[in-house]
Structure 1
Amino acid sequence: MRKLNASIDRFAYRHPNFGIPNLMRFVVAGQAVVYLLYLFSNYGAISFLTFDLAHLLRGELWRLVSFVFVPNALRPLTFVILLSFYYFVGSTLEREWGTAKFTLYYLSGMALSVLGTVLAALLTGYHGLTLSNAYYLNLTLFLAFAVLFPDAGIMYMMIIPLKAKWLAWAYGAFFLWDLVKSAMAGNIIGIVIPLVSLLNFLVFFWPEMMDFLGIHTQRVRHQSSHQTIQFKAAAKQQRRKEAAQGYRHKCTICGRTDADFPDLEFRYCSKCAGYHCYCQDHIYNHTHITQ
């Protein structure tokens, strides 16, 4: 999980132009249009936007995406409150993470919601199982917000002032209770869909979850290992040599330096014995030096 989390961060760093800027604005606008369609007709008129395996197998591919535009609530006041809240949450996450990482988070949440529904449909044999809105996807947005901004104030039901972390703990408790009830009742749907749908939150916040649980053993072992101590000693020697060199960084593989290629990114590998520098093309693609 930690490697996957690091891969996501690397991808977002290397591809800052990836993604859809102001993604939540499009989601909110789409939900507003669908809600108006519902008001002037009925729920049956927007059912073609929900997802289920049976219709997907008939070639209705738009359902893979369109379910996010189906409103979570149909009462006007509740709809407006929820729409405003999740627009605020999503926009805040995009500003904090950047467009690339937020888009990855949202798209992976969409994909996992669909995957959870498909798995539950296959396990139960009921291909008409419907994913009618983005409830779990929106839940992952809020949980991400609560982790990043735990002390942010939220007016629950527009009346009760709460901190984001308190509301997140409450959601977490209800989520676990629902899983327990589903397990006791043998409800496969109630187990598979929630667990799969929230996997993107687990992946994106794996380091924070491990830190919260106090799982630092591997990190402490690594910091006190002979290889790490050797790396730090070699780093001190390298800094003393920098004053006598015409460059600061030189790739061990290709020999390029920061003096010749000032726009090139260089990093040092802590898994190699000694103090070895690599350019951005070789830092993740080299054989570790052991002696």
Structure 2
Amino acid sequence: MNFINKLNRKFGKYAIHNLMLYIVILYALGFFLQTTDPRIYTEFLMLDVEKVLQGQIWRLVTFIILPPGDNILFLAIALFMYYSIGTALENAWGAFRFNLYYFSGILFNILAIVIIYLVTGVSVRMGITYLNNSLFLAFAALFPNVQFLLFYIIPVKVKYLGILYGVVTLHSIYTNFIGGYYFISIGIVVSLLNFLIFFFSSRNFRSVSPNEFKRKAEFKRKVRSAKNTGNVVEFQGRKTITRHKCAICGRTELDDENLEFRFCSKCEGNYEYCMDHLFTHEHVKKPNGD
């Protein structure tokens, strides 16, 4: 998405790196508060729309610390999974895009809670359950062939788990809607809007394998080791060696310090592109017989 690329160039330096580590710490804090006194979350931290309107605006942020469970063993497993999935997404997209995905998910969860409140007059204790689920769906879309151990025994590809979750979610939306609880159906859809928007409008959701990370790491090592023999360009009237150069437009890191460059896994050869051309260029193929 060109719009996201432009945002990345302008605001990418403000992105929070290793975001999931901080989220996991917040969950751990939420678990501690829950075990100390469950009323603390409900009375002071939960996203209660009526109390937000009365001036308790911190609830727009503090509601996210509700942990995904109250069993410490289950919580530890869940937090490890969330951290692993979030880190994989950040490595694949970059910190800025992952930040945008996660924080837009929080905003959509807030919107869902507000919609339910406006219809029913009740603030639901929802936390960011659907946001965590949207992380899983994004991971399944990016890495469909990664295997999870179901019940720690049965190996299952994550794409099948993603499909199963999608079917269950659609069934929940349908049954609530025909049962007259359409506001719940709307709330579920709104909560997952970040995934739906990114999935249907962003080409970043391309299928890659875990080997892609290995290839990228290898390219980065080669770039670092070759920094003294990089691309030679004219800059301010003199020849300058650069570490990156787009194979399409010829821009380098000297043109814009916020530019990001990636090697294309589908081109045959070491072709590097800026983010404006990474997903739009024609892939280079070697002539037959080479």
TM-score by length of 1: 0.67
- 8 Å Cα contact 1:18-1:99 kept in structure 2: no
- The equivalent position to 2:177 in structure 1, one of 177, 183, 192, is 183
- The counterpart of 1:164, out of the listed 137, 158, 168, is 158
Q: Measure, in 1, the Cα distance between the counterparts of 2:53 and 2:109.
A: 17
Matching residue within 47, 56, 59 for 1:60: 56
For structure 1, list consecutive stretches of 5 or more residues without a partner in the other structure.
Answer: 213-256, 266-291
SS in 2 for 1:17: helix
Q: Distance in 2 between matches of 1:208 and 1:112?
A: 18
- Give how far 1:69 is off: 1.1
SS at match of 1:155: strand
Match for residue 223 of structure 1? none
Measured against aligned partners, the alpha-carbon deviations of 1:96-146 in whole angstroms (never above 9, x if no partner) come to 11111110101000000001111121123x1x3224321000011111111
Give the superposed CA RMSD. 2.6
Output the amino acid matched with 1:171: Y
Q: Is the 8 A contact 1:31 1:70 kept in 2?
A: yes
Aligned equivalent of 2:107, options 94, 108, 111: 111
Given that 1:34 and 1:69 are in contact with CA atoms closer than 8 Å, whether structure 2 keeps it comes out as: yes
Q: Is the 8 A contact 1:31 1:71 kept in 2?
A: yes
Q: Which amino acid aligns with 2:40?
A: A
**Amino acid of the structure 2 residue aligned with 1:81:** I
Q: Which residue of 1 aligns with 2:41?
A: 46
Normalising by structure 2, we get a TM-score of: 0.67
Offset at residue 188 of structure 1 (A)? 2.6
Structure 1 residue aligned with 2:255: 263
Aligned partner of 2:236 in structure 1 is none
Q: Residue 109 of structure 1 contacts residue 197 of structure 1 at CA under 8 Å; is this kept in 2?
A: yes
| Partner in structure 2 of residue 90 of structure 1 | 86
* Counterparts of 1:145 and 1:258, CA distance in 2: 33
Aligned residue identity for 1:183? F
Distance 1:160 1:258 in 2: 49
Residue correspondences, number: 213
2:67 is paired with a residue of what secondary structure? coil
Identity of matched residues, %: 33
Structure 2 residue 132 is the aligned partner of structure 1 residue 138: yes
Is the 1:136–1:197 contact (alpha carbons within 8 Å) kept by the matching residues of 2? yes
Q: What is aligned with 2:191? A: 197
- In the alignment, the residues of structure 1 paired with residue 250 and residue 165 of structure 2 have an alpha-carbon distance, to the nearest angstrom, of 50
Gaps of 5+ in 2: 207-248, 260-290
The 1-side partners of 2:154 and 2:5 are apart by 36
Equivalent residue for 1:74?
70
Does residue 20 of the first structure (1) align with residue 20 of the second (2)? no
Residue type of the alignment partner of 1:8? I
Whose radius of gyration is greater, 1 or 2?
1
Instruction: Tell me if structure 2 keeps the 8 A contact 1:120–1:188.
Output: no
